[in-house]
Amino acid sequence: MSELVPGGNTPLPGGALTLRVPGPFDVSALITDAGGQVRGDADFVFYNQTSAPGVRLDGDRLTVDPARLRPGADRVTVVVSPADPGTPLGQLPSPALLVSAPDGRAIARFTPPRPQAETVLLLAELYRRGTAWKLRALGQGYADGLAGVARDFGIEVTEDADTPAASPSSPPAPVPGTGHAAAPVGRTPTLLDLGPMGAAAASGSDPAEEPAVREFLAAVNSARAAAGSPPVTLDSRLTSAARAHAAGMAAGGLLSAETADGVSVYQRVVSAGYAYLTIGEHLVSGPRTPREFVEYCLSSERSRSTLCDPGFEEAGLARVADSRTGDLYWTALWGRPFSPAGLERTAREVIALTNTERAAHGLPPLSPDAPLTTAAQGHSADMVARDFYAHTSPEGRQPWDRAAAAGSRRRTIGENIACGQRSPAEVVLGWMNSPGHRANILKRDFTHIGVGLAGGGRAGTYWTQLFGG
């Protein structure tokens, strides 16, 4: 069974799949096409409408048969909300998604980081990749109820201006920084900041935008100076990637880390020639000027921490208007460029944090191991290059196969993988919060470790820990 982390994905078998979220939660599903929009109200399955072609809801059990979805359906997004609509998710246990194959075999589990003020989570999505289907863990939060989610996927929702409430018929105003909805001009903009995952206009320079970019850079570096962070410089490759991604979002009319053409913002960064150790992004719709954009990004703690992160050294910015609505779609990218020394330093930090966890449990430290490091780095790079996320490679190679091929003679091998995290601290924390990954870190039989990481995959940076004993 795959233990998923945010941004992680796993292949799905054919047939009807069962997805459960036990506990005091309501489960819903949205069926969308390649553009990320529903075709009508019938594509929203929830407690008042419990079935659609290929999807059925029965209590906490959602059954999805991809082969029976309506024509054109490319994605099913699983949504979870409190059974009591007035309860913030932060007051409940973190919802755990359990996915079973048609024969009842457990194939995946995902427990997102504990929500705070959010009232709805986009928990996971089943999506078509060629002729096959995959599951991706999300964990993205909304603070404006099921109605906000439905509206942002293209379902018309009637709003009561006098008495807003968090229900499917009249949502409250969006809370900045908690969702990923495209906000029309004049409404409160909503931010997608994935944390640590082209289309037209892919050149890195647009003379007409240069004054705006200078305004952006001045505002950003002023905020970074106030936070004690060094300034960033503009990078033409990041600007090129930002412009391509903003154009893709504007073409589809939807804020997303992956646009309708199937390309993610992280893939665009490396396609533009920018190899990175860590990357951050702000994807926003609503602000009209660079200064408004920066002020909005400073309006919540999470997005402010990205803008002011002292680890970022370079930035790129672009804005593209939706030709149908005039809405501006913004992409800001923040990067620390790749270097061999930086890769080695990052891997050492992962090992140090892992050994800190072992020491806290009375276990001896793990020693760095060259063959395990080679195998771990190779697997991270392979997952990025061939666009998969799994312990088993497409041709069936397992962690112990990769370790042996790299020259390891360790008798016992274990592996942790993750994707989307920006830093050693974030990835080790994620592993420690997952029972299966935690067990590997704290296994007494392991004596050695190798760490690898590679950026530019669909979900951002891909991390591997390979243990040996």
Q: Name the β-bridge partners of 462.
A: 419, 454
Give residue-wise pLDDT tens across range 290-324: 999 999 999 888 889 999 999 999 999 999 999 88
Lowest mean pLDDT among 92-101, 136-145, 176-185: 176-185
108-146 b/e with 16+ CB inside 10 Å = b?
bbbbbeebeebbbbbbbbbbbbeeebbbbbbbbbbbbbb
Q: Rounded to whole angstroms, how far apart are CA atoms 252 and 142?
A: 21
User: What pLDDT sits at residue 172?
Assistant: 28
Q: Rounded to whole angstroms, how far apart are CA atoms 177 and 303?
A: 7
**162 pLDDT higher than 50:** no
Task: Report which of 77, 51, 72 is spatially closest to residue 63, judged by C-alpha positions.
Answer: 51
User: What pLDDT sits at residue 182?
Assistant: 26
Lowest mean pLDDT among 15-19, 58-62, 140-144: 140-144
Give residue-wise pLDDT tens across range 319-360: 999 988 888 999 999 999 998 899 999 999 999 999 999 999
* 449 touches 424 (CB < 8 A): no
User: What pLDDT sits at residue 206?
Assistant: 55
Of residues 80 and 149, more confidently modeled:
80
Average pLDDT of the chain is 83
**449 pLDDT higher than 90:** yes
Of residues 108 and 90, more confidently modeled:
108
- 263 burial class (0-12, 13-18, 19+ CB within 10 angstroms)? middle
**176 pLDDT higher than 50:** no
Of residues 1 and 197, more confidently modeled:
1
Radius of gyration of the chain (CA): 22
Confidence of residue 202 (pLDDT cuts 50, 70, 90): very low
Confidence of residue 160 (pLDDT cuts 50, 70, 90): very low
CA 411, distance to chain mean position in Å, is 35
User: What pLDDT sits at residue 197?
Assistant: 26
At residue 218's C-alpha, the angle toward residues 213 and 221, to 5°, is 120
User: What pLDDT sits at residue 359?
Assistant: 97
Of residues 102 and 1, more confidently modeled:
102
User: What pLDDT sits at residue 153?
Assistant: 75
User: What pLDDT sits at residue 213?
Assistant: 82
Find the mean pLDDT for residues 368-384: 93
User: What pLDDT sits at residue 148?
Assistant: 66
Percent residues over pLDDT 70 in the chain: 85
Phi, psi (5° rounding) for residue 43? -85, 5
At residue 99's C-alpha, the angle toward residues 428 and 418, to 5°, is 20
**178 pLDDT higher than 70:** no
Confidence of residue 277 (pLDDT cuts 50, 70, 90): very high
Confidence of residue 201 (pLDDT cuts 50, 70, 90): very low
DSSP 8-state secondary structure symbol assigned to residue 68 = G
User: What pLDDT sits at residue 106?
Assistant: 87
Find the mean pLDDT for residues 191-218: 54
Find the mean pLDDT for residues 36-48: 83
pTM above 0.75, yes or no: no
* 237 touches 204 (CB < 8 A): yes
User: What pLDDT sits at residue 335?
Assistant: 95
**187 pLDDT higher than 70:** no
Give residue-wise pLDDT tens across range 10-25: 899 999 999 998 888 8
User: What pLDDT sits at residue 165?
Assistant: 31
Give residue-wise pLDDT tens across range 211-260: 888 899 999 999 999 999 999 999 999 999 999 999 999 998 888 888 88
**27 pLDDT higher than 50:** yes
